[in-house]
């Protein structure tokens, strides 16, 4: 196979794996704002080491390993920060790979669940996620406290997540 084709295949695999890799890194870093930076480091490292990847093997398995070590290195560097998991838990979670459902499965399930939400709830999510408004800004607009809004969003996410999980369970992987 030509080097360009190999690179192309590698990029396809890496691109497909982004969602899974990000979720894996986010899990180990407690969804820290550094997640994207660490993911970027993982991507760089995977690209540098791309010739080590055997296309006959599962790309994600290899990618998770790289992500694990990069995340561990990050946690070691930031061990003095407050919201960093202890090494035992990191190792435990590092071994447990994310579920087999792809992001597109989850997104389809999400769309089905979003359709079931009331317009008000959907607007709330849209404000929070798409328009990137702060909880304070949205709360001010709605005339409620930030704390009350946080609780509302929390319940909404939980509800949505439960719905997504139900939908995924009814869909074979």
Where on the chain is the footprint of another protein (CB under 8 A)? 4, 7-8, 10-12, 14-16, 18-19, 22-23, 26-27, 30-33, 36, 39-40, 43-44, 46-51, 82-83, 85-86, 88-89, 92-93, 96, 98-99, 101, 103-104, 106-107, 110-111, 114, 122, 125-126, 128-130, 132, 150, 153-155, 157-158, 160-161, 164-165
Closest contact distance (angstroms) between CB of 140 and another protein is: 18
**Token couple for 41:** 């480091």
Cβ closest to another protein, residue 142 vs residue 163: 163
Closest contact distance (angstroms) between CB of 17 and another protein is: 9
Closest contact distance (angstroms) between CB of 161 and another protein is: 4
Closest contact distance (angstroms) between CB of 125 and another protein is: 6
Closest contact distance (angstroms) between CB of 70 and another protein is: 13
3-state per-residue secondary structure call for the chain? CCHHHHHHHHHHHHHHHHHHHHHHHHHHCCCCCCHHHHHHHHHHHHHHCHHHCCCCCCHHHHHHHHHHHHHHHHHHHCCCCCCCCCHHHHHHHHHCCCCCCCHHHHHHHHHHHHHHCCHHHHHHHHHHHHCCCCHHHHHHHHCCCHHHHHHHHHHHHHHHHHHHHHHHHCCCC
Cβ closest to another protein, residue 77 vs residue 111: 111
Cβ closest to another protein, residue 135 vs residue 142: 135
């Amino acid at each position: 196979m030509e080097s360009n084709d190999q690179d192309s295949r590698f990029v396809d695999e890496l691109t497909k794996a982004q969602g899974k890799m990000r979720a894996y890194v986010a899990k180990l870093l407690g969804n820290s704002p550094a997640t994207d930076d660490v993911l970027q480091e993982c991507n760089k490292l995977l690209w540098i080491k791309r010739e080590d990847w055997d296309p006959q093997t599962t790309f994600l398995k290899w990618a998770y390993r790289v992500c694990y070590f990069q995340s561990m290195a990050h946690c070691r560097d930031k061990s003095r920060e407050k919201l960093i998991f202890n090494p035992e838990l990191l190792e435990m979670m590092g071994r447990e790979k994310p579920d087999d459902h792809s992001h597109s499965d989850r997104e389809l399930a999400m769309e089905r669940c979003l359709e079931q939400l009331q317009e008000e709830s959907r607007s709330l999510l849209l404000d929070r996620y798409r328009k990137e408004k702060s909880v304070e800004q949205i709360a001010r607009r709605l005339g409620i406290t930030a704390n009350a809004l946080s609780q509302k969003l929390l319940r909404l996410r939980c509800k949505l997540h439960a719905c997504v999980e139900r939908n995924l369970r009814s869909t074979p992987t």
